[in-house]
Amino acid sequence: MSKNAIEIKGLKKVYRGRGGAEDKVALKGIDLEIPRGSLFGLLGPNGAGKSTAINILAGLVNKTEGTASIWGFDIDQNPRNARANIGVVPQELMFDAFFTPREMLDVQAGLYGVPKSERRTDELLKAVHLYDKADAYSRTLSGGMKRRLLVAKALVHNPPVLVLDEPTAGVDIELRQLLWDYVRGLHAMGTTVVLTTHYLEEAEELCDTIAIINHGEVVCCEPTEQLLKRIDEKEIVITVSDTLDAVPPPLARFKSNLRNRHQLAIKISQADANVGQVLDAVRDAGLTITDISTDETDLEDIFLQLTSSAGKAA
């Protein structure tokens, strides 16, 4: 049995153009290994290919080339077992307006062959804070409630892999926090979680490994901590009591600029300089420091750099 929850090799998807239109290549032969028990982030700009990859795993889109397996089961050779081991929470809020949450979960469990005696309908509704709406029509639920219901729906067959495709898009901060607390709990109990999100701070906080897809290609796949070390640049902001008209000569060797007449912004990397050298240069310039702060590189900086450089390369 593979140590990976999901394995993707050479996965390619081409949408054939109609009426003389050009073919659209959504995935260009990507490789990905998602370890069991991980909380894996799959990031990329709109149209990068994230949802296409997820829909192929879920059996909603047919791949053009390559292989994919879920929990050791190839999606072509063992489609039933592959799909039984994954639960997908889609971006779109798709519901039968005349079903209640309880009915929806029961029907979904039936589709997966879960016996009535083993169904966890009430347990799941309580877990996503919808038990009090169990018998209300789905059309009466708010957008946030519908989003939570989709999570419960994806878990009816107790899959070892849960995929969340932009689960907090358009969701308020309180609900987002509630959802992530629940996801952390699932992960702590052993569920492998794959997350796509536009909120980079979420990926940085939640995920142990992050892959970035751009233009149908994987541009990086690394442990989050290692990825954040890729760019070790930090910005030091120094406020001085003196009035400045230009960057003082002792600071010219750094990447320095004036934010205003009393504030200098200096970018440094560990390879080039350290904070002590910057402060020595400030003193050499005869300036009196009144405040100092640093701004570390975050995932957004890395994301923008990787996706922009990939775009230029393409």
> Do residues 68 and 57 make contact, with C-beta atoms less than 8 angstroms apart?
yes
Name the band, by pLDDT with cuts 50, 70 and 90, for residue 20.
confident
Is 180 within the bounds of a domain?
Answer: yes
Is 141 within the bounds of a domain?
Answer: no
Is 114 within the bounds of a domain?
Answer: no
Amino acid of residue 246: A
Is 120 within the bounds of a domain?
Answer: no
Residue-level length of the chain:
314
Find the DSSP H helices in the chain. Answer: 50-57, 79-84, 101-111, 121-127, 143-154, 173-188, 200-206, 224-228, 275-284, 299-313
CA distances in angstroms from 59 to 16, 55, 79, 88, 113, listed in the order given: 19, 6, 8, 10, 17
pLDDT surpassing 60 at residue 311: no
Query: Are 8 and 80 in the same domain?
Result: yes
pLDDT surpassing 60 at residue 227: yes
Q: What is the CATH classification number for the domain harbouring 246?
A: 3.30.70.100
d(CA 244, CA 242): 6
Burial class (CB in 10 A: 0-12, 13-18, 19+), 261: exposed
Is 257 within the bounds of a domain?
Answer: yes
d(CA 209, CA 204): 9
pTM surpassing 0.95?
A: no
d(CA 291, CA 254): 19
Query: Are 9 and 71 in the same domain?
Result: yes
Token pair 């070790």 in the structure block, residue: 232
Judged by average pLDDT, the poorest of 95-99, 134-138, 301-305 is: 301-305
Of 175, 206, 228, the one marking the end of a domain is: 228
Higher pLDDT, 104 or 271: 104
Of 228, 251, 279, the one marking the end of a domain is: 228
Query: Are 288 and 163 in the same domain?
Result: no
What does the pLDDT look like over 106-162, one tens digit per residue?
999 999 999 999 999 999 999 888 999 999 998 899 888 888 899 999 999 999 999
- In sequence order, the 6+-apart residues with CB closer than 8 A to the CB of 177 are none
pLDDT surpassing 90 at residue 308: no
d(CA 279, CA 42): 40
d(CA 192, CA 187): 6
Query: Are 215 and 238 in the same domain?
Result: no
20: which 2 tokens?
Answer: 């003389």
Query: Are 76 and 171 in the same domain?
Result: yes
Query: Are 81 and 181 in the same domain?
Result: yes
Query: Are 178 and 240 in the same domain?
Result: no
Q: What is the CATH classification number for the domain harbouring 8?
A: 3.40.50.300
Query: Are 193 and 72 in the same domain?
Result: yes
Name the band, by pLDDT with cuts 50, 70 and 90, for residue 313.
very low
Query: Are 217 and 181 in the same domain?
Result: yes
What are 40's strand-pairing partners? 194, 209
Query: Are 221 and 168 in the same domain?
Result: yes
Query: Are 167 and 289 in the same domain?
Result: no
Total domains present in the chain: 2
Domain containing 58: what range?
4-85+159-228
Name the band, by pLDDT with cuts 50, 70 and 90, for residue 314.
very low
Is 16 within the bounds of a domain?
Answer: yes
Number of H helices, E strands in the chain: 10, 14
What dihedral do alpha carbons 32, 36, 41, 42 form, nearest 10°?
30
Is 289 within the bounds of a domain?
Answer: yes
Query: Are 72 and 166 in the same domain?
Result: yes
Nearest to 240 by CA among 265, 267, 204: 265
pLDDT surpassing 50 at residue 312: no
- To 5 degrees, how large is the angle CA 288–CA 291–CA 297? 125
pLDDT surpassing 60 at residue 309: no
Is 305 within the bounds of a domain?
Answer: no
64 phi/psi in degrees, rounded to 5: -90, -45
d(CA 191, CA 6): 13
Nearest to 27 by CA among 47, 4, 6, 5: 47
230 phi/psi in degrees, rounded to 5: -60, -45
